Amino acid sequence: MDKKNQPDLVLFLITLVLLIIGLIMVLSASSYEAMLDYDDALHFFKRQAAFMAMGFIPMFIMMNINIDFVKRLAFPGLAISIVLLLLLPVFGVDVNGAVRWYRIGPLQFGPAEMAKPIVIVFFAMWLTALGKKNLRTFKGFFITLLILAVVPVLIIGEDLGTAVCIAGAMFCMLIVAEVPVSYLIGLACTAAAGVAAMIVAEPYRVQRILAFLDPFADPLGKGYQVVQSLYAIGSGSMFGVGLGASRQKLMHLPEMHTDFIFSIIGEELGFLGAAFVILLFAAFIWRGFLLSSQLEDRFMAFTAFGLTASIGIQAMINIGVAVGAFPVTGIPLPFISYGGSSLIFMMATVGFLLNLSKYAKK
C-alpha cells in the first residue's frame, strides 16, 4: 500500500480556519462569564488554546499512522469504548443534568467523543469484510443492524445528539455501500420510532420538543435558550453588532461559548459571518466526500465518507438548534465550540482523513 500523494492541503486549511474562528469566538463569547466566575476574561480562551495545541499532537500521529495498524486497533478500541460507556452512569460526573463525562483531575473526558471515530472505522471494516453481495441479503443486513445499534443505544440515554450523529453517519455509509432502498426505508422508520419512544420515555425530552415547536409559549422557561438564541442571531442582521459587542453573552444566553456559540457568531458577525462559517463546513464536507470518491480501497472510502458525514451531521444539528430548526440536543459545533475532548478527538479525526488523502487517486 504505497502512498501516492501529500496530505490534502485544502482540507487542512479549511480545518485550520475553523479552528482559528473557534478560538476567536470562544474568547469573545466567554470573556464576560470568565471574568465573573474566574476573575480572568481569558480563562476559557487559554484553556481552548491549550486544547488546540494538544489536538495537533493526535492530528499529526493519525496523519502518519499505518492504516493497517489502525485496523488492528479498531476492535480493542471499540471494546474499550463500550466498557467506558457502560460504566459512565456509575463513575461519570453530572454536568447540567447530564452524565456524559469522566472527570480526570481538572479535565473532563467524554467517552462518546472517543467512540464516534472508532465506531465508524470498525463499521467500515465490517462493510468491507461483508461485501456488497452479503450486505444485500436480509441475514447480512440484520447482523449489520445489530452492530450498527450497539454504541448509539449505549449513548442515547444521556446524549441523544451524539447518538444521532453516529447513527446518521453509519446510515450514510450504508447508502454508499449500496444497501437496497427498501432496507434503508425500513431502517429509517424503525430508527424514527425508536427515537420517538426515547423522547416519550423522558419528560424533559418531551418538554424540549414542545419548546422546539413553540419556544415563545414559555420564553422564560423551557423555550428560554432557543428564544435567546434567536434574539442573538436576529439582532446581528447582515453585518453583525461587531466582534466582542454581543449583548446576549452578558449572561442572557446559556452555554454561549459551547452549544450556542453559533448564535454569538450570528450576533457579532451577522449573516455574512454566519454564512461564511456554514460555507466552511460545506467545503469541508465536499472535500471529505471528494476524498472518499477518490479512494480505490473500499475500507478507506467507507471510512473517509463516514468520518466526514459524522462531522457534517454534528455541525448541521448544532447550527439547526441555534436557529430553531431542531430541538435542543447539547452537542458542540465542531472545531469552534469550547471543549477539550470534543476538539481533540475531532482534530484526530481530521488527521486520519489527511492520512487517507495520501492514497487518493487524483
**In the predicted model, is pLDDT for residue 96 greater than 80?**
no
The pLDDT tens digits for 104-132 are 776 777 788 888 999 999 999 999 988 77
Confidence class for position 294, pLDDT limits 50, 70, 90: very high
- 155 with 295: CB under 8 angstroms? no
User: How many whole angstroms separate alpha carbon 309 and alpha carbon 319?
Assistant: 15
Residue 191 C-beta-side C-alpha neighbours within 13 Å: 23
What is the per-residue pLDDT for 278?
A: 97
User: How many whole angstroms separate alpha carbon 30 and alpha carbon 248?
Assistant: 11
**In the predicted model, is pLDDT for residue 56 greater than 90?**
yes
Q: Mean pLDDT across the stretch 319-330? A: 87
Q: Which of 137, 216, 256 is nearest to 145 (CA)?
A: 137
What is the per-residue pLDDT for 104?
A: 75
User: How many whole angstroms separate alpha carbon 357 and alpha carbon 10?
Assistant: 11
The pLDDT tens digits for 332-354 are 999 999 988 889 999 999 999 99
Q: Which of 146, 134, 147, 139 is nearest to 178 (CA)?
A: 134
**In the predicted model, is pLDDT for residue 8 greater than 90?**
yes
Confidence class for position 101, pLDDT limits 50, 70, 90: confident
111 vs 270 pLDDT, higher one: 270
The pLDDT tens digits for 142-190 are 888 887 787 777 777 667 778 888 889 999 999 998 888 888 888 888 8
Q: In which order are the strands placed within the sheet that holds 93-95?
A: 93-95, 98-104, 107-109
Confidence class for position 357, pLDDT limits 50, 70, 90: very high
Q: Mean pLDDT across the stretch 297-306? A: 95
